[in-house]
Amino acid sequence: MQRFTVRLLAGVTAILVIMVGAMLWSGARFIESQGEQLLHQEIEARGVLVSSALVQGLVYSDPAAVQEVLALLGNDPHLVYASVEDVRGRTVAVYGELWDVSRGPDAVLPDGYVAGTRDITAAGQQLGSLYMVFSTREIQAQIREMVWRMGRIGIAALVLALVAVALLTVVLTRGLRRLRTGVAALERGDLDHRIPAVSGDETAMLAETYNRLAELLGRTRRRLEGEQEALARETQNLRALLGGVDAILWEMDPASREFVYVAGDADRLLGQPMTFLRDRARRRQHVADEDRPALGRTWRYVLETCETRSVDYRFNHPEKGWIWLRDVLSADPVDRVVRHVRGLTLDISREKAREQAMQASETRYREVLDNIKEVVFRTDVDGRLSFVNPAWEDLTDHTAEDSLGRNLLEFVHPLDRTQAEALCAALGAGERDTCRQEMRYIRKNGDVRWVEVYARLGRTPEGTPSGMFGTIMDITERKLAEERVERLAFYDPLTGLPNRLMLNRCLVQAQALSDRNRAHGALLFIDLDHFKDINDTLGHQAGDMLLVDAGQRILGCVRESDTVARLGGDEFVVLLEGLSADAVAAGGEVRVVADKLIAALGQPFQLMDMERHCTPSIGATLFKGRLRSADELLKQVDLAMYRAKAEGRNRVCFFDRAIEETAGARVQLETDLRMAVQEMDRLELYYQPQVNLAGVLTGVEALLRWHHPRRGWVSPEEFVPVAERSGLIHQVGEWVLEQACARMAAWSKVPGMNELTMSVNLCALQLLDEGLEPMVLRALCRHGVDPGRLRLELTESVFLGHSEEILRTMKTLGAHGLTFALDDFGTGYSSLSYLKRLPLTELKIDRSFVDGLPGDPHDAAIVETIVTLARSLGLGLIAEGVEKEAQMEYLRMLGCDRYQGYLFGHPETAEALEQRWRREPDDESNGDRNTGGGRA
C-alpha cells in the first residue's frame, strides 16, 4: 500500500512540475512575442502618421517645415533618432543624434534599439523616405518583470497542488486498507466479516461489493450442504432413471475385467443382451480395430492416475452398423489400490454426425475464405482484429499474425481515420447495425489503397454488441479510373484550374448554398486585354506561360473557398461565395476583389526575358439563390465584360439592365408556354435515329419541339427550364410519354421499326413525382407497348440532392421492365462510384467529348476512359453528336455500341423518319446502314 502511495505521489508531482514549467515557458514566450508585435505596430503607425505630415514639406521642398514636423517627435520618450531623405537620397532634416555617424538607415543597431524606414508618397509618387530609431529598453524591462511575476505565481500554484495531492492520496488509500483486511478474513474462511462503507466514493462501492460477495458465499455454502444430502437420495433413484435413456452405468473389477454392476438397457444401446457384457472377447471384437489402442490407453491411464477420463470409439451394432460410443471412466482407490472401475457408456452417434457435418462445413467455409479476393474480417468490441482471411495480406502486406490484436483503425489513412472512427463508434454504440464506406488503407510499404468497407455489428446471445465483422474490397483501380475521368473532364490541362464543366458544378452548389443561407454570390468574367497580340507575336509557348501566370495571380486575389476557372483562351471566371445578404454591401465586396485583380494582372509579365503588359477587362454580376441558371449568369458577366472593354478596358463593369429585360422575357415565355400546354396544339415530338455498328436503326430519341405563334420554333434549352420552374413539366412530360407510347404502338406494325427502343428524357422533378410510376404504366398498358422498349434518359444532375429518392423510383420502374440510360455522361455532378448502384442499361457519351474526335487528345482520352468504365460495369454505350465518318470509325474502334447524330439524321417528324427508315418485308439488305434512306 505504501509503494502505491509513493508511486502515485511521485507520478503526480512529475506531471505537475512539467505542466507548470511548460506553462511558464510558453507564457514568457507569448509575452515577449506580444511585446515585439505591439512595438512594431506602434512604429508602423507612427511612421504612417509622420510620413503623412511630411508630404507637404517635401512637395514644396521646404526643409524648415520638415524639420518642424520632426521637432514635434520630441514628445515621444522612446524615439532616439529620425531623419528624412528626398528621392535623391539627400538628408532634408534630422532629429536627435546617432552615436556612430557612420551608421545610417541600413545600419545594424545594438540590442535595445529598433529602426524602421517608410517611403513617403503622394498620389502614387514617391517623395522621399523617413528613417526612425526607437529605444526598447523600457519595454524589455517591463517584460522581464512580468515573466518573474508569472514564475512566482507558478511556483506557489505547484506547492498548493502538491499539498492537495498528498491529502487526496491519504483519503483514497484509507478504503483500500479496509478492503485488504476484508480479503484476509475471506482467506481464513470467515464469511461473517463485513467492511463498513463509510464514504460515498468508489472504495465504498467496493466495500459494498465485498459484503454482498461474503453474503453470497455464505448462502452458497449452506445451499451446497443441502444439495449434498439431496444427492445421496438421488443416487438411489439413478438405477431406475437409467432405464429410460441410451446409457449404461456400470462397475467393473479391474483385475478380472468382469462387470460387478450394470444399470441400463444394454439391449437397446448395444443391440446385445446383458450377457454380452460379461463376455470380454466378444466385447473386444465389436470395437473398431483403429479405436482399440485408444481405448486401452485410456483404461491404463485411469488405473494408474485414478483420474476421470473419457474415450470415444466405434462399436459394431448388429442392426445399426457402426455407432459411436463414449465411455466415461473413473477409479476409486481404497488404500491406494483400485478395487473398482466405474463407467458410463453413452451413444454419441448423433453428436459425432453433427461434428462431422460441422467439420465439412468448416472445410468448405475455409476454402471460400482462403480463395476469395475480398478481405473478410472480425473484430472484438474494442475494434481489435480477431480474424482475417488470406486476402488481408494481399491488401495490406501485413501477415495475419502481425495484424491480429491490432485495432482495425491503425491501417486506415490518417485523412480518413476521423470518419472511420465515427462509423465504428456508431456501430459500437448500437446506433446502427451496418455501414458501408469508401476509405483509404495504408500498406506496409506506405502505398495507399482505396477500399470499400462493409461492416455489420455483431451481438451476443443477450443482444449486447460483441464486435464487428464484414468485408473489405480493393477499389483502387476503380478510383484511379474515376480520378482520371474527373481530371480530364473537369480541369483545364494547361493551368490546372477548373474548366467550364467544373465551374457549372461549383456554381450550382454555390446557388444551392446561397438559397439556404440567403447570402449573395458573384461571378466575375475576366478577359485579358491584347492577349491575342502577345500570343501572335511571341508564340503559343509565351501565351501559355502568360495564362499560367495569370491564373496563379487570380488565385492569389481570392479566398480558398472561392473558385477560379478557365473557360478557354484568355477567359477566366471567378466564383465568389458567402457575400453579404445586402446587395449594396455585396457589390462593394465584389468591387474590392475586382480592384485586387486589376492591380495583380496589371503588373508586367516576364515572358522569355521580356516584360509584357496585359490588363484585364472584368464583367461582374451578383446572384442570390437559384433564380438564374449557370448559363444565364455566364451570359450576363460576358455582356458586362464586353461593356468593360467598350469603356476603355482595364476596369470592371456590373451587369444591370439586361437582368430586367431577361426577367420580362422569361415571364412572357412562361405565359405563352402555359397556353401552349393547355391547348397542346403547338407542341410536337420529333425523333432522331439511333443506329448500331452496322448502321441498322435500333432506336430513336423523342425530342420535344414548340412552335410559337409569333417567335416560331423555340429551343428546348429555353422553354424546358421555364416548364420546370413553373411546374408545367409534369403535364408536358405526361403528354410526351403518351405520344411516345402511341408512336411505338403504331411502329409495331411497320417492318424494320417494330422493335425500336424509344428514348424519353426525364428531369429531376418528374422522377420525384409520386405519380410518375402509375402514369408511365397507364400509358404502356393503354397502347399495349412492351415496357422493355421504353428507355428513360436521365442526366447526372438529377441526382444532386435527391439521389436516394430517385434511385428508389428507378428501381421501382425497372421492376416493371423499363430501362434507363445516363445522358450527357461525364458532364454532370454525381460521383462515378454511384454508377454501380444505378439500374442503368446504357451510358450516353456527351457530344462535347465526341466533337473533338479523333484529333483532340483530351477528348479521345476522356472517351476511352468512359468506354472502359462502361465495359467494367457491363453497360451499353451510345455516342451523341456523331457528325463525321472519322468520329464513327474511331468510336467503332473503341467498341462503342450505338451512335446518334447528324451523320445518321436530324430530328424529324414521325412520318419523315418512317419514310426514310421503313423496310419492306422482302428487303434482304437489312444489315446495310444505308437501307431505308441511309444517313442524313
Helix extents (H) in 750-839: 764-767, 772-783, 803-814
- The CATH architecture annotation of domain 372-474 reads 2-Layer Sandwich (3.30)
Round to whole Å and give the CA distance between 834 and 837. Answer: 6
What are the φ and ψ backbone dihedral angles of 621, each rounded to 5 degrees? -150, 150
Residue 926 has pLDDT above 70, yes or no: no
Contacts of residue 845, defined as CB under 8 A and 6 or more positions apart, other chains included, come to 825, 826, 863, 866, 867, 877, 878, 879, 880, 891, 896
Q: How confident is the model at residue 105 (pLDDT cuts 50, 70, 90)?
A: low
SS in 3 state form for 129-165?
EEEEEEECHHHHHHHHHHHHHHHHHHHHHHHHHHHHH
- Cα-based torsion angle of the residue sequence 736, 742, 747, 749 in order, rounded to the nearest 10 degrees: 170
C-alpha distances in angstroms, 362 versus 365, 369, 376, 377, 559?
Answer: 5, 10, 15, 16, 60
- Cα-based torsion angle of the residue sequence 546, 548, 554, 555 in order, rounded to the nearest 10 degrees: -160
What are the φ and ψ backbone dihedral angles of 575, each rounded to 5 degrees? -105, 115
| Mean pLDDT in residue range 93-107 | 63
Residue 921 has pLDDT above 60, yes or no: no
Residue 876 has pLDDT above 90, yes or no: yes
Q: Are 388 and 404 in contact (CB under 8 A)?
A: yes
pLDDT, residue 242, reads: 54
| Mean pLDDT in residue range 356-384 | 82
- Cα-based torsion angle of the residue sequence 899, 903, 909, 915 in order, rounded to the nearest 10 degrees: -100
Helix extents (H) in 768-833: 772-783, 803-814
Residue 234 has pLDDT above 70, yes or no: no
| Mean pLDDT in residue range 242-270 | 74
Residue 161 has pLDDT above 60, yes or no: yes
| Mean pLDDT in residue range 64-74 | 79
Contacts of residue 339, defined as CB under 8 A and 6 or more positions apart, other chains included, come to 253, 254, 332, 333
Of the two residues 74 and 584, the one the predictor is more confident about is: 584
Round to whole Å and give the CA distance between 411 and 399. Answer: 13
pLDDT, residue 831, reads: 58
Round to whole Å and give the CA distance between 273 and 285. Answer: 16
Round to whole Å and give the CA distance between 268 and 318. Answer: 11
Round to whole Å and give the CA distance between 406 and 444. Answer: 14
Highest mean predicted confidence (pLDDT) among 51-55, 245-249, 611-615? 611-615
Predicted TM-score (pTM) of the model is: 0.37
Round to whole Å and give the CA distance between 386 and 378. Answer: 6
Contacts of residue 702, defined as CB under 8 A and 6 or more positions apart, other chains included, come to 685, 686, 687, 736, 739, 740, 743, 758, 759, 760, 761
Highest mean predicted confidence (pLDDT) among 103-117, 132-146, 378-392, 829-843? 378-392
**What CATH number belongs to 666-922?**
3.20.20.450
**If you write DSSP's letter for every residue of 221-287 in order, what string do you get?**
HHHHHHHHHHHHHHHHHHHHHHTTSSEEEEEEETTTTEEEEEEE-HHHHHSS-GGGGG-HHHHHHTB
Of the two residues 394 and 71, the one the predictor is more confident about is: 394
The single residue listed with the C-alpha cell 476503380 is 478
| Mean pLDDT in residue range 681-694 | 92
- CB hemisphere CA count around 591 (13 angstroms): 8
Contacts of residue 695, defined as CB under 8 A and 6 or more positions apart, other chains included, come to 904, 928, 929, 930, 931, 934, 935
The single residue listed with the C-alpha cell 503526480 is 12
Q: Are 488 and 559 in contact (CB under 8 A)?
A: no
DSSP letter assigned to residue 823: E
Yes or no: domain 24-143 corresponds to CATH 3.30.450.20? yes
pLDDT tens digits, 705-736: 998 888 889 888 888 888 887 888 999 999 99
pLDDT, residue 86, reads: 83
The single residue listed with the C-alpha cell 476596369 is 651
DSSP letter assigned to residue 498: B
| Mean pLDDT in residue range 859-872 | 90
pLDDT tens digits, 327-354: 888 887 776 777 788 888 888 888 888 8
Residue 244 has pLDDT above 60, yes or no: no
Residue 929 has pLDDT above 50, yes or no: no
pLDDT, residue 793, reads: 93
pLDDT, residue 894, reads: 92
Round to whole Å and give the CA distance between 403 and 406. Answer: 6
pLDDT, residue 935, reads: 39
Report residue 421 as a C-alpha cell: 472512427
Q: Are 577 and 514 in contact (CB under 8 A)?
A: yes
pLDDT, residue 158, reads: 78
Highest mean predicted confidence (pLDDT) among 242-246, 440-444, 831-835, 929-933? 440-444
How distant is the alpha carbon of residue 810 from its chain centre?
24
Low-confidence winner among 73-82, 227-236, 408-417 (lowest mean pLDDT): 227-236
pLDDT, residue 187, reads: 75
Q: Is 831 helix (H, G, I), strand (E, B) or coil?
A: coil
Round to whole Å and give the CA distance between 65 and 55. Answer: 10
Residue 231 has pLDDT above 70, yes or no: no
pLDDT, residue 591, reads: 93
Question: Do the two domains 24-143 and 372-474 of this chain adopt the same fold?
Answer: yes
| Mean pLDDT in residue range 154-176 | 76
Highest mean predicted confidence (pLDDT) among 650-664, 850-864, 922-936? 850-864
Q: How confident is the model at residue 658 (pLDDT cuts 50, 70, 90)?
A: low
Q: By percentage, how much of the chain surpasses pLDDT 70?
A: 90
Of the two residues 556 and 285, the one the predictor is more confident about is: 556
Yes or no: domain 246-350 corresponds to CATH 3.30.450.20? yes
What interhelical angle do 729-747 and 910-917 show, nearest 10?
30
SS in 3 state form for 348-389?
CHHHHHHHHHHHHHHHHHHHHHHHCCCEEEEECCCCEEEEEC
* Preceding omega of 921 cis (within 30 degrees of 0): no
pLDDT, residue 801, reads: 54
pLDDT, residue 448, reads: 92
pLDDT, residue 528, reads: 94
Contacts of residue 627, defined as CB under 8 A and 6 or more positions apart, other chains included, come to none
pLDDT, residue 923, reads: 52
Q: Is 471 helix (H, G, I), strand (E, B) or coil?
A: strand
- The CATH architecture annotation of domain 496-655 reads 2-Layer Sandwich (3.30)
- Cα-based torsion angle of the residue sequence 716, 719, 723, 728 in order, rounded to the nearest 10 degrees: -90
pLDDT tens digits, 183-211: 777 777 777 777 776 666 667 777 778 77
Q: How confident is the model at residue 924 (pLDDT cuts 50, 70, 90)?
A: very low
Q: Is 811 helix (H, G, I), strand (E, B) or coil?
A: helix
Average of per-residue pLDDT values in the chain: 83
Q: How confident is the model at residue 43 (pLDDT cuts 50, 70, 90)?
A: confident
Helix or strand holding residue 579 (H, E): none
Q: How confident is the model at residue 162 (pLDDT cuts 50, 70, 90)?
A: confident
| Mean pLDDT in residue range 820-829 | 75
Q: How confident is the model at residue 930 (pLDDT cuts 50, 70, 90)?
A: very low
Residue 487's nearest CA partner among 795, 794, 832 is: 832
Residue ranges per domain, the chain? 24-143, 246-350, 372-474, 496-655, 666-922
Q: How confident is the model at residue 931 (pLDDT cuts 50, 70, 90)?
A: very low
Q: Are 573 and 567 in contact (CB under 8 A)?
A: yes
Residue 556 has pLDDT above 90, yes or no: yes
| Mean pLDDT in residue range 785-790 | 94
Round to whole Å and give the CA distance between 828 and 763. Answer: 13
Residue 522 has pLDDT above 70, yes or no: yes
